[in-house]
Amino acid sequence: MKPTDPDVHWIEERPLGLTEKLYLPLVLQGLTTTARHLVGKKVTVSYPEERPAVGNPLIYRGVHRLNRDEEGRVKCVACFLCATACPAHCIDIVATESPWPDREKYPESFQIDELRCIFCGMCEEACPVDAVELTSFLDLTGKSREEMIFDKEKLLSVYDMTKDSEPMKSESLGGTL
Amino acid sequence: MPTVIVDGREIEIGADERLNCIEAARRAGTEIPHYCWHPGLSVVASCRMCLIEVGSRDAETGKISMVPKLVPGCQTPAKDGTVIVTQSSTVIESRARVEEALLIDHPIDCPICDKAGECLLQDYHFEHGKAERRADILPFTSKKRDVGPTVTLFADRCIMCTRCVRFTREVSGTGELMVNSRGSKEEIDIFPGYPLDNKLSGNVVDLCPVGALGDKDFLYQQRVWFLKRDEGVCGGCSAGCSIHVEHNQDTVYRLKPRENQHVNKWWICDEGRYGWHHLHDPQRLVEPTHRQSGQSLPTEWSHVVSELRANLNAAVSTGGRLGVAVSPMLTVEEAWMLCTLAREIDPQALLAVGHVPSRGEDESFPGGFTIRGEKCPNRVGVEHVIAAFDPTVPKWESLLESVEAGRCSAVWITAAYPPAGSRPAAESEPWIDEATAARVARLCEQTGTCLVVQDLFESPLSAHATWLLPAAGFAERSGTWVNHAQWAQHFERAIRPPSGVWPEGRLFWNMLGRRGLYDPAAIRREAAAASTALAALAEDLPSVGLDLRLQQLATT
């Protein structure tokens, strides 16, 4: 967009008034805000002793999970669309022919580098079969970088851990598949 | 000159050209969508995607009379005064209906289809189809079956263009594929007990405009939009087919033919198509080694550059000759640098064409495609280079004779031969047999000759080498190859060689003491100035290459 574009509206800064020129009234105004927060209700929590409240777990973007279908198999069809959409290039999939008759291919290995991930949720949006989802699970810790590369088993275990508290978003939100 | 009017634009075509409306419109920059038509196959006009409005202009009165209905562009010849209308509302509506009809039976499993991203059905639907689908969405039913050792058929994705059937009948001449049943139950199939197993079978996958035919070697490996494509030349035989090397993160995933009417038309053979696996073979040599007092130790390339030359100089100063086998796998530029280097070290160095691997006879197919028996891409180019230094152009055998006669005090053998028949290196025969290697090695050991071997894999010869240097694969080189018919093609490297490997070009460039990065164009100009046979290489080559003989005729 060029500066001369008709959609660009140029605004002049208005001249300072007397109180603004005196400077001190504004300092007092700022200090009042600080003081109000000192005595007011705290918004931070002492994590990990205290748990932050997750507003709506269905739209929270925490650790990923790989969903299972009704038969307990991984839902993913190894289409690579999450890996394509991922802006951080943190998803690595190796596809192979599926052993099941109702599906063409499935992921032989599915890895998400949780350290590289920026939790934007694009993978979740790209997935055509709602297999990869972000949970409200936020305790993401590990002792090594390798530990933070979540493989297929680990991502499926996140599903097993969270499936009761967080039903699959596709169903609860009237998903397409 | 005959004039064709495409959407109101007048285009002149050649007087003796036989173009159809699709080709004529392409000249005018208008793409008429088509599935079943392919320039290398016969016309069936069955897909109905290229329906257009056609008419003719009266040469005298200039009056235009149109054909009252839509006609297939692939079947309609473009003549003087032909009027082609590709953008009328009738044509646009017709295309949308063809798309809709094709998609009624199509599973639309694009997310798991390997063709997605390079699929004509996808592309044309975005361009010419309608956004709404009136048919009910069918559940996924994979009708997947094997049709041969290299190809898998997904019958439900097929749009019955029959390109593959025509290919096996007209180009490979094997006729394995057929159309089974009729009407809405039509399916591509093989005759029972006769799988699609011929030396050009992989081409049906390239021909398939949708994802119905899948290449087993590439199936599920990578989505096509991750692949980068570079123009290359196949090094499998002396035909020198133009190819696209498709790769990602320095890993080749597949080779595809690149249209070149002078060499391979639209096709490549299966041996070439799958002949890239050796590039990623874990057994490849990746470290230069130097044998001193009976012990082979890994060394640094910087050390090789300085010490190898000193080593060869010392060997030559004892009075023997330096014998060099210039491998026909090297590019013209690399061969030129190697010969220059050898003659700098020893002005009377014996330059010989390296071992020329050969398997079987030339094999021709009805479609005009030939697989050559000579399994190296650049024998002709190397011969031209050597002829500039030594007009007798000694062969590999004469180098062996010189070694046996004890005339050589240093031998430099460049090899870089890929394993035969696109098999893993461990299962294939080495390029040099045990007996020859032992003979060379024994003589070298007796006389204390310095033996330099540059190869992709270990061979019976490599165990005896004083210097064993890793070589580059075909996709890791830059330069020019000259095929059996003197057709020169230039290519740039597609992927980087494995860590630790210097391509020959880089080593020779550094050993010649030249500064900066290896620049094939500079070497090419030098070679062109010094050799009449290579004079055509002075200019940048077109991407389809050019005939060296034409330039020779022009200069003589």
Residues A93-136: pLDDT tens digits? 999 999 998 888 999 999 999 999 999 999 999 999 899 999 99
Query: Looking at the domain assignment, is residue B317 inside a domain?
Result: yes
Task: Convert the pLDDT of each residue in B50-85 to its tens digit.
Answer: 999 999 999 899 899 999 999 999 999 999 999 999
Under the banding of pLDDT at 50, 70 and 90, the label for residue A176 is very low
Judge whether B137 is closer than 8 Å to chain A, CB to CB: no
- Rounded to a whole number of angstroms, the distance from the CA of A117 to the nearest CA of chain B is 19
Query: How many Cα neighbours within 13 Å face the side chain of B331?
Result: 34
What percent of chain A has pLDDT above 90? 61
Query: Looking at the domain assignment, is residue B118 inside a domain?
Result: no
Tell me if B142 and A84 make a contact (CB, 8 A cut-off): no
Judge whether B142 is closer than 8 Å to chain A, CB to CB: yes
Q: Could you give the domains of chain A?
A: 64-172 (3.30.70.3270)
Same domain, B151 and B175: yes
**Average pLDDT in chain B:** 92
DSSP states along A50-78: SPPPPS-TTT---SEEE-B-TTSSB----
Same domain, B211 and B229: yes
Same domain, B476 and B514: yes
Q: Is the pLDDT of residue A165 over 50?
A: yes
Return the structure tokens found at A5: 């574009």
Round to whole Å and give the CA distance between B169 and B160.
16
Query: Looking at the domain assignment, is residue B121 inside a domain?
Result: no
Domain closes at, from B251, B280, B309: B280
pLDDT the model gives residue B424: 78
pLDDT the model gives residue B137: 65
Return the structure tokens found at B424: 């893993």
Under the banding of pLDDT at 50, 70 and 90, the label for residue B131 is confident
Q: Chain A: residue nearest B144 by CA?
A: A104
Domain of residue B28, residue span: 3-87
Tell me if A79 and B112 make a contact (CB, 8 A cut-off): yes
**Average pLDDT in chain A:** 89
Same domain, B318 and B460: yes
Same domain, B240 and B293: no
Task: Convert the pLDDT of each residue in B437-464 to its tens digit.
Answer: 888 887 777 777 789 999 999 998 988 8
Tell me if A84 and B225 make a contact (CB, 8 A cut-off): yes
Same domain, B399 and B306: yes
Judge whether B111 is closer than 8 Å to chain A, CB to CB: yes
Task: Convert the pLDDT of each residue in B250-285 to its tens digit.
Answer: 999 999 999 999 999 999 999 999 999 999 999 999
Domain closes at, from B71, B87, B103: B87
Question: Taking residues B1-10, what's their average pLDDT?
Answer: 92
Q: Is the pLDDT of residue A175 over 50?
A: no
Same domain, B163 and B298: no
Same domain, B415 and B466: yes
Q: Is the pLDDT of residue B227 over 70?
A: yes
Q: What is the CATH number of the domain that holds B192?
A: 3.30.70.20
**ipTM (interface pTM):** 0.82
Tell me if A79 and B111 make a contact (CB, 8 A cut-off): yes
Task: Convert the pLDDT of each residue in B479-495 to its tens digit.
Answer: 999 999 999 999 999 99
When divided into structural domains, chain B yields a total of: 3
Residue partners of B71: CB distance under 8 A and separation at least 6: B51, B52, B53, B54
Same domain, B348 and B458: yes
Query: Looking at the domain assignment, is residue B131 inside a domain?
Result: no
Task: Convert the pLDDT of each residue in B351-394 to its tens digit.
Answer: 999 999 999 899 999 999 999 999 999 999 999 999 999 999 99
Same domain, B236 and B307: no
pTM for this predicted structure: 0.88
Which amino acid appears at position B123 of this protein? D
Same domain, B51 and B18: yes
- Higher local confidence (pLDDT), A6 or B223: B223
Q: What is the CATH number of the domain that holds B21?
A: 3.10.20.740
Query: Looking at the domain assignment, is residue B117 inside a domain?
Result: no
Give start and end residues of each alpha helix (H) in B154-268. 163-170, 203-207
Same domain, B172 and B254: yes
Task: Convert the pLDDT of each residue in B276-332 to its tens digit.
Answer: 999 999 999 999 999 988 888 999 999 999 999 999 999 999 888 999 999 999 999
Tell me if A105 and B220 make a contact (CB, 8 A cut-off): yes
Under the banding of pLDDT at 50, 70 and 90, the label for residue A48 is confident
Query: Looking at the domain assignment, is residue B100 inside a domain?
Result: no
Exposed (0-12), middle (13-18) or buried (19+): which is A128, by Cβ within 10 Å?
middle
Q: Which residues of B touch A77 (CB under 8 A)?
A: 111-112
Task: Convert the pLDDT of each residue in B140-193 to its tens digit.
Answer: 677 889 999 999 999 999 999 999 999 999 999 999 999 999 988 899 999 999
Query: Looking at the domain assignment, is residue B196 inside a domain?
Result: yes
Query: Looking at the domain assignment, is residue B95 inside a domain?
Result: no
pLDDT the model gives residue B114: 93
